[in-house]
A and B are shown apart, each in its own frame.
Chain A
């Protein structure tokens, strides 16, 4: 569980797949997009690259998906800056401070331990959180629907 009040979210998962395969799923723009929910990136991922794609989830296809890649260390670390929960096209978030997402990979037996940390939530202006949450209420639903579809499609 997440700590209730903090600037930071941390999630850890162990995957039954070698580090090279997990890195490929993270670092290749097309692979990343297929599980994350984005497509048509204009750039391949690399350090210092700002990659822009389109959101693939039904009802949100008009939206750009933008990540500003900071670190790109093969099979070890991928981090980017982005604006979380920006599903409202009428709300300009470009001038708000971004949050930072960092994926870290480590061996765990024959599998891979993946740690995701997102920080910077407290830098968001007061009131933004509530707005983000309301703006995203449909967003949480499409994520759940998307997993179901993915799992069904894979079986």
Chain B
């Protein structure tokens, strides 16, 4: 459940609006600890949604925009498929007007 968490969603939102950020900066403005932020970032990394890179002496986190776009496109397509299935269910159970 890489994205099913408020903290992870807000981390993604910040990274998408600001670009790469260090864990120190990411921890500022959250109510959770640096360790918790780190844990959430690693979950997101495991899902291929963010990656860590070096910027000078610092390690920074950034989005994997391609992967996020893929995830969105996939879920949109699956949602459409469900809408279509539910319309067929409607035809199956409803009496004609």
Contacts and interface: CB of A to CB of B under 8 A. Distances in A.
Do A and B come together as binding partners?
A: yes
A25 B91 CA distance: 11
A25 B88 CA distance: 11
Nearest to A7: B4
Contact of B12 (A5, A31, A37, A85): A5
A73 B59 CA distance: 51
A25 to B, nearest CB: 5
Contacts, number: 113
Interface string A1-37: 0101111110101011100011001100001001111
Interface of A: 2, 4-9, 11, 13, 15-17, 21-22, 25-26, 31, 34-37, 84-85, 114, 116, 118, 121-123, 126-127, 129-130, 132-133, 136, 139-140, 143-144, 146-147, 150-151, 154
Interface residues of B, number: 37
B92 A9 contact: no
Interface in B1-20: 1-4, 9, 12
Nearest to B44: A122
Most chain A beta-carbon neighbours within 10 Å: one of B67, B68, B79: B79
Contacts of B67: 126
A147 B84 contact: yes
Interface in B74-94: 74-94
Given A4-B72, A36-B85, A122-B1, A136 B77 contact: yes
Contacts of B47: 122, 126
21 contacts: A2-B79, A5-B3, A5-B72, A8-B4, A9-B79, A17-B95, A25-B89, A25-B92, A35-B85, A85-B78, A121-B71, A121-B75, A122-B1, A127-B48, A129-B71, A129-B73, A129-B74, A130-B70, A144-B84, A147-B84, A151-B91
